[in-house]
Amino acid sequence: AQTVTQSQPEMSVQEAETVTLSCTYDTSENNYYLFWYKQPPSRQMILVIRQEAYKQQNATENRFSVNFQKAAKSFSLKISDSQLGDTAMYFCAFMKHADSGAGSYQLTFGKGTKLSVIP
């Protein structure tokens, strides 16, 4: 079974500064997907960014980027120029590739990091 660990239950950052959220995972799979989801106070889950394990290039989406270290099984999220609207719970998640057979449709989540952006 896959596990996802987020070691920082809470973090804070000043507006306009940069913050990095950590995520590690444990798997014996070679092909898989990694995700960061955001859950603001409205509790709506929103996809922030995704990474395919076979791609060495780190994914970026505007102010959001990841540092994917496959050998270390690490997948951190960097938020640049933090904005008040970034205040939310952030969840790291893992999904096996479709070719991996059983369980390949399941998304496994970490316990989340609560990020507060301070004005």
Report how far residue 114's alpha carbon sits from residue 119's, in angstroms, rounded to the nearest whole number: 16
The smaller minimum CB distance to other proteins, of residues 15 and 54, is found at 54
Among 28, 42, 56, 62, binds other proteins (CB under 8 A): 42
If binding is defined by CB under 8 A, does position 41 make contact with other proteins? no
The smaller minimum CB distance to other proteins, of residues 18 and 111, is found at 111
If binding is defined by CB under 8 A, does position 118 make contact with other proteins? no
If binding is defined by CB under 8 A, does position 51 make contact with other proteins? no
If binding is defined by CB under 8 A, does position 64 make contact with other proteins? no
Q: Which long-range contacts (CB under 8 A, 24 or more apart) does 96-104 make?
A: 96/2, 96/27, 96/29, 96/31, 96/32, 97/29, 97/31, 97/32, 97/33, 97/53, 99/31, 100/29, 100/31, 100/32
If binding is defined by CB under 8 A, does position 45 make contact with other proteins? yes
Query: For binding to other proteins (CB under 8 A), which residues are involved?
Result: 9, 33, 35, 42-45, 47, 50, 91, 95, 98, 105-112
